[in-house]
Chains A and B, each alone.
Chain A
């Protein structure tokens, strides 16, 4: 019996590793790829340098009116001057701390929910969901308990965008869950009602829903009821989003194995206990990425409130670009708007992907 002596590992041939090998494998593996690489390089060459020179090198950053913009590049002065309006709309300047405080409270309040070791997460979350909206309403709207009233017609900018998106998804969640339960119910009447509701909202564009809310809602309600523009938009967005949330939640419920229903049934749990204690907690965990994606879509869709004359982030910027004092800087305005939306949507989509991966591994075990 002999002991086999293994040969030592050798470094790979020069052509297959290192910068050379990498380039050969990833850029010039054959003539077609080489041609593509050259084409792509050309594309980059004709697009990136002009963009950089416009947005950074030749751009104007300092000043407080359009006369400061002389160098021919982007006029970021425009954005700088209007920035506070883009964020707060016409919310009175001396009261803007209330908006800031609302945002800070939201972040500070929600932070413990993301801490793994946090005990009684569920109870805390429920309390947060009950208390925060009341607090936020009091802070933003006021009119009671010593807070000065700020009419919703003064709300605008990023703040309004966030209000619409957050209220929309928060209102859509409970309604969507109920609709999802209804769609999977044994009772044919309930099922038909829910399917009709869901398919109706999913079948029409949001813009028609907003039109409807602004012209038909006043017709639907008794004459003496007068609800403001923002509330109308919020109702429309909530109903619309609920249908999408319902479909996402239904997907999650379908992914729960039948055995879970049977086990819960065998324990003698009634319908609501079974759903509330066994099925929904599992299903909702599964659908968080889907809900985040729905929220991203909603966040982008908030820009449509321009149609009914609300001044969200996008509309504030659009109005600024048609202001006679700043005509000719539409590109800067839209690029800034795009950047703001992009930052929010991109980071949320990364978060959703991260969650998906995390849930994925959790399931394989």
Chain B
């Protein structure tokens, strides 16, 4: 992977602000006092052992999970149980899942145009043009009329990224986008994500691809037991982690 740092300027605007967020599953305290501020164009990588709450954290940002305490403000809109706010935020936040979650009954093109047609309410022709543009970007325009079941895992994940981009989101969330892929397909997906980063997209990625974190991230966050244990720029994070937990984790993950 290209080890040279991708240069870019951060915007002034604060896109996401999380203040004192807590979440419980029943009696179990899964997220403890999460505080985070993300500026426009900032790329953040979240890592940590499984069950540490990193996926839950980003899933709270578009309310696939509900937080019970604290504040989340996305693009100046506060997340409450008010459906209007939730919908407004989901329109601006794209998400890519570990298991792709493409709609198997729709073609690749239809997957990409579904939300623009029904949520953004743009004309079909226009939606298809936009979809083709993004399918070009993820380098699979020729698959537009196939069904997801006919594509490889890597291709499916790139379609999933294109599908999210078709809504022209301001923020992209990635929930372990490469963990369900065969090793030879990881690179094509990471390259797509790097491309996105180069265009200045605000990104939050839950991933264990530390090469990606080094190249792309502005900040790396290490979470454990539902807390943010450490948050630093990649150089500091990888060369001189402050906490023992981080070091242990890095040791385990980098020695593989």
- Give chain A's interface residues, CB within 8 Å of chain B: 1-4, 6-7, 9-13, 16-17
Q: Known interface pairs A1-B242, A1-B247, A12-B29. Does A6 touch B225 (Cβ–Cβ under 8 Å)?
A: yes
B232 CB, nearest partner CB in chain A, Å: 13
Contact among B26, B227, B243 with A7 in the assembled complex (CB-CB below 8 Å)? B227
- In angstroms, Cα B225 to Cα A17, docked, is 21
A130 CB, nearest partner CB in chain B, Å: 51
B253 CB, nearest partner CB in chain A, Å: 17
17 A-B pairs, CB-CB below 8 angstroms? A1-B242, A1-B244, A1-B247, A2-B243, A4-B224, A4-B229, A4-B244, A6-B224, A6-B227, A7-B32, A7-B33, A7-B227, A10-B29, A12-B29, A13-B68, A16-B24, A17-B24
- Digitize B219-230: 1 where CB-to-A-CB distance is under 8 Å, 0 elsewhere: 000001101011
10 closest pairs, A vs B, by CB? A12-B24, A9-B29, A4-B243, A4-B229, A7-B32, A3-B244, A4-B245, A6-B225, A16-B68, A13-B68
Is B69 positioned at the interface, with any CB of A under 8 Å from its CB?
yes
- In angstroms, Cα B227 to Cα A38, docked, is 41
Q: Is the interface of A mostly helix, strand, loop or mixed?
A: loop
Q: Find the residue from B28, B32, B247 having the highest chain A CB count within 10 A.
A: B32
Contact among B22, B26, B227 with A10 in the assembled complex (CB-CB below 8 Å)? B22
11 new A-B pairs (CB below 8 Å) besides A3-B245, A4-B244, A17-B26?
A1-B241, A1-B243, A4-B243, A4-B246, A6-B224, A7-B33, A10-B29, A12-B24, A13-B24, A17-B24, A17-B27
- In angstroms, Cα B246 to Cα A3, docked, is 10
- In angstroms, Cα B246 to Cα A7, docked, is 16
Establish whether residues A10 and B27, one from each chain, have CB atoms under 8 Å apart when the complex forms. Answer: no
Closest to B26 in A: A17
A4 CB, nearest partner CB in chain B, Å: 4
User: Which residues of A sit under 8 angstroms from B227, Cβ to Cβ?
Assistant: 4, 6-7
- In angstroms, Cα B33 to Cα A7, docked, is 9
User: Which residues of B sit under 8 angstroms from A6, Cβ to Cβ?
Assistant: 224-225, 227
- In angstroms, Cα B241 to Cα A3, docked, is 11
Q: Known interface pairs A9-B29, A10-B22, A17-B24. Does A4 touch B68 (Cβ–Cβ under 8 Å)?
A: no
Interface size class of B (residues with CB under 8 A): 20 to 34
Q: Which of B1-44 contact A (CB under 8 A)?
A: 22, 24, 26-29, 32-33
User: Which residues of B sit under 8 angstroms from A3, Cβ to Cβ?
Assistant: 243-245
Closest to A15 in B: B68
- In angstroms, Cα B244 to Cα A9, docked, is 21
- In angstroms, Cα B229 to Cα A277, docked, is 59
Q: Find the residue from B28, B68, B246 having the highest chain A CB count within 10 A.
A: B68
Establish whether residues A4 and B33, one from each chain, have CB atoms under 8 Å apart when the complex forms. Answer: no
Establish whether residues A10 and B247, one from each chain, have CB atoms under 8 Å apart when the complex forms. Answer: no
User: Which residues of B sit under 8 angstroms from A16, Cβ to Cβ?
Assistant: 24, 68
Establish whether residues A2 and B225, one from each chain, have CB atoms under 8 Å apart when the complex forms. Answer: no
User: Which residues of B sit under 8 angstroms from A12, Cβ to Cβ?
Assistant: 24, 26-27, 29, 68
User: Which residues of B sit under 8 angstroms from A2, Cβ to Cβ?
Assistant: 242-244
Closest to A7 in B: B32
B45 CB, nearest partner CB in chain A, Å: 19
Establish whether residues B32 and A11, one from each chain, have CB atoms under 8 Å apart when the complex forms. Answer: no
B12 CB, nearest partner CB in chain A, Å: 32
Contact among A1, A4, A7, A11 with B27 in the assembled complex (CB-CB below 8 Å)? A11
- In angstroms, Cα B33 to Cα A16, docked, is 17
User: Which residues of B sit under 8 angstroms from A10, Cβ to Cβ?
Assistant: 22, 29, 32
User: Which residues of A sit under 8 angstroms from B243, Cβ to Cβ?
Assistant: 1-4
- Digitize B59-95: 1 where CB-to-A-CB distance is under 8 Å, 0 elsewhere: 0000000001100000000000000000000000000
Establish whether residues A13 and B69, one from each chain, have CB atoms under 8 Å apart when the complex forms. Answer: yes
- In angstroms, Cα B241 to Cα A247, docked, is 63
User: Which residues of A sit under 8 angstroms from B26, Cβ to Cβ?
Assistant: 12, 17
User: Which residues of B sit under 8 angstroms from A9, Cβ to Cβ?
Assistant: 28-29, 32
- In angstroms, Cα B242 to Cα A2, docked, is 6
A114 CB, nearest partner CB in chain B, Å: 37
Closest to A21 in B: B26
Establish whether residues A4 and B29, one from each chain, have CB atoms under 8 Å apart when the complex forms. Answer: no
User: Which residues of A sit under 8 angstroms from B33, Cβ to Cβ?
Assistant: 7
- In angstroms, Cα B22 to Cα A1, docked, is 27
